Amino acid sequence: MTDTRHLLFELGSEELPPKTLLSLSRALVENVRQGLLEADLSHTDIKGYATPRRLAVLVENLALAQTDKTVEKRGPALQAAFGADDTPSKAAIGFAASCQTTVDKLERLKTDKGEWLAFTQNIKGQATAKLLPDIIRRSIQALPVAKRMRWGNNATEFVRPVHWAVLLFGEETIKTDILGLETGNQTYGHRFHAPQALTITAPEQYQPLLYQEGKVIADFRQRQDLIRAAAEQAATALGGVAHIEADLLEEIAALNEWPVPITGHFDTRFLALPPEVLITTMQTNQKYFPVKRADGSLLAHFITFSNIDSTNPEAIQKGNERVIVPRLSDAEFFWQQDRKQSLEARVDSLGSIVFQKKLGTLADKTHRVKQLADYIAAQLDADVHLAKRGALLAKTDLMTEMVGEFPNLQGIMGRYYALADNEPDEVAKAIEEQYYPKQSGSPTPESTTGQILSLAEKIDTLTGIFSAGLVPTGDKDPYALRRAALGVLRIIIERGLDLDLVASVDFALEQFEHEFDRPQTRRLLLDFIFERLKGYCLDKAYSADEFEAVMAVQPPQPLDFMQRLDAVKSFRQLPEAQSLAAANKRIRNILKKAEVQPGDSLDKLIQAQEVALLTEARQSAIAIRPLVQQRDYRAALARLAQLKDSVDAFFDHVMVLCDDPELRAQRLNLLDMLSEQFLTCADISKLQS
């Protein structure tokens, strides 16, 4: 017998929810891994399997038992353990009781620091087979199941009714109760192709047995890769390319144990609809992969997957072709009906939809966004008319039949309907781009009007929801404010917009008429936004102390913030950086403790080192002023770095806090002059060595 065996656990059930199958599988693997770790059971690899009707875990080379341990406990010091007559003290008796023994059986531990009572216990490791049932039960109980269900007369609860359970440790079947089932060594194959019981003789046979005799591909990723390859091959045969999105690919893999591709076709008249409508209909309603030409335009074909290897695939094809017709006909009807009324004609109907009870309706939001878009466009010297027009029409497609049926097409349909209404292209594009970036890493708006509208919409939402007291906490963020804040920052920075974000927030806050604490809301929101900026900067490989150096001077424009940050990162590479950062920290500490008296006269500065520093400080002030105005912070900090030798000499030879009050005041003013020059860029005293 070897020291390790493979372990297999499988739970068979009714069809599991496809959109959570993979997350359940990952959680089960992690829970089992954690359970084995806590039980101190060593193993090598651990792998999860997931199909619509099963969750399984294979643990390779799992130890047969826990390792034997020697546990040593140290008790009270000997002088505190016994009285003058060698009678055990309460401390000694209590320690012995905690070790489940008596004082006379305790050992004495001598060290160079003294002598203590001690207890040594040899603990024999338990057999793995004995520990596994509880590990598996806890792993299942800890799965992230949003809503559990009961079935039959049992009190057992799980995401779906369960039918069999396998617990195999090497060739040994571990008998126990899992969710009301007695575990065994029999699994079941495909519901239709191989419904009979299949006996597993060893854990490593699980996957090949299901494949060869059960018509089941147990490995989720293998099944997903097969589906992708089959879809691409089928699309090529149709003269096109499969349009495969990751979420749908994962869902189709979660719906099939033995996926077989089926191609189908639809009437070419439907190609007159916007392609996004056809794609959404095929993907959302039917779980079909659309087929495109090489140029990206749609073909009148689709690819679906059947969970059976049918002897009559043509019948499945015809059935799917029949099913898709009413879906596409509905979309065609929505498209035709929606175009009978312009977007502008729908503006008034926005008043019937409540955005948030304290913030009013979508009509109220539209008015605020329009005002804010006007304000932002003026700051950016952009076309105010286009910005206001885009804001007016931004939410009107929410009132259409198409978006009512397919909410994910909001903005997209707005663009199509705006173009049909002969709105300017820039306005039409902005209506779609108001929702950009849609997720982390996705594109920001390309058009200027789209950038303005997206910023106005997001800033209004941020200020509004914060003013309503609905600040995100923990994982709860129902209005996606974290994404909105990061979106605002990305648009400004990545599109190079010279926008004063703080002023824009202030303008937005002034538009709300309900009662709220404006100063506190402003502070909370700006902290929230700049915390997102910190995360953004750290992701861009800037360090935390570089961020804090810029944050200390609070630039209100994110683009300006990033320019300063880039300069600080460049500055710290200079040989003078460490010394100047330390000197600035010393200057800041001195100025904090001493009271600086404003004054223009520096006539008492006569010591050579302070005269030299004063001369260079005046010269650097003249040199960096135009550089700072041009936001050439790199050059400004590089020029300030030339002060290093004079600053070092000053601190080596000059006593700042001298007894002469006038001289002390003038030396403090000199340091204040230096500090202010550096603070025109950043507080480099924040840089760590």
- Render pLDDT for 449-502 as a digit per residue (tens, 0 to 9): 999 999 999 999 999 999 999 999 888 899 999 999 999 999 999 999 999 999
Over the stretch 385-417, which tens digit does the pLDDT of each residue have?
999 999 999 999 999 999 999 999 999 999 999
Task: Give the span between the Cα atoms of 437 and 443, in whole angstroms.
Answer: 5
Type of residue at 634: R
Q: Which helix (H) or strand (E) holds 262?
A: strand 260-265
Segment 326-350, tens digit of pLDDT:
999 999 999 999 999 999 999 999 9
Q: Note the maximum CA span of the chain.
A: 106
Class of domain 576-686: mainly alpha
Contact 452, 432 (CB under 8 A): no
Distance CA 100, CA 184 (A): 39
At 287, list the tokens: 């779980």
Name the CATH architecture for the domain at 4-66+127-214: 2-Layer Sandwich (3.30)
Instruction: Write out pLDDT tens, residues 616-649.
Output: 889 999 999 999 999 999 999 999 999 889 888 9
**Nearest-angstrom CA–CA distance, 53 and 160:** 10
Q: What span, in angstroms and rounded, lies between the C-alpha atoms of 211 and 191? A: 13
pLDDT of 84 strictly over 80:
no
Q: Where are the domains of the chain?
A: 4-66+127-214, 69-123, 220-338, 345-541, 576-686
> Does CATH place domain 345-541 in 1.10.3210?
yes
Confidence of residue 599 (pLDDT cuts 50, 70, 90): low
Model pLDDT, residue 1: 40
- Find where tokens 């493979």 sit: 6
CA distances from 419 to 127, 405, 427, 519 (A): 72, 21, 9, 42
DSSP of 657-684 = S-S-HHHHHHHHHHHHHHHHHHHTT--G
**Are the CB atoms for 209 and 54 separated by under 8 Å?**
no
Beta strands in 151-232 (DSSP E): 162-169, 172-173, 177-178, 181-182, 186-188, 197-199
Give the closest residue to 70 by CA, choosing from 126, 127, 125, 121.
121
Residue (of 684, 647, 645, 688) closest to 667 by Cα position: 647
CA 686 to the chain's CA centroid: 29
The per-residue pLDDT for range 14-67, each reduced to its tens digit, is 999 999 999 999 999 999 999 999 999 999 999 999 999 999 999 999 999 988
pTM of the model as a whole: 0.83
Give CA–CA dist 364/394, Å, rounded.
13
How far is residue 217 from each of residues 245, 261, 673, measured CA to CA in Å? 21, 15, 73
Spatial distance between the Cα atoms of 185 and 17, rounded to a whole number of angstroms = 25
Q: For 187-244, what is each residue's pLDDT tens digit?
A: 999 999 999 999 999 999 999 999 999 999 999 999 999 999 999 999 999 999 999 9
Give CA–CA dist 380/375, Å, rounded: 9
Tell me what the mean pLDDT of segment 500-516 comes to. 96
Instruction: List, in order, residues 6 or more apart from 361 with CB less than 8 Å away.
Output: 350, 351, 352, 353, 354, 355
Mean pLDDT across 663-668: 82
Alpha helices, H only, 171-295: 206-214, 220-237, 246-255, 275-280
| Tokens representing residue 35 in the block | 């359970």
User: Which one has a higher pLDDT value, 158 or 591?
Assistant: 158
For residue 9, the cross-strand partners are 57, 167
Q: Give the chain's mean pLDDT.
A: 93
* Residues in Cβ contact with 569 at an 8 Å cutoff, skipping those fewer than 6 apart: 542, 543, 546
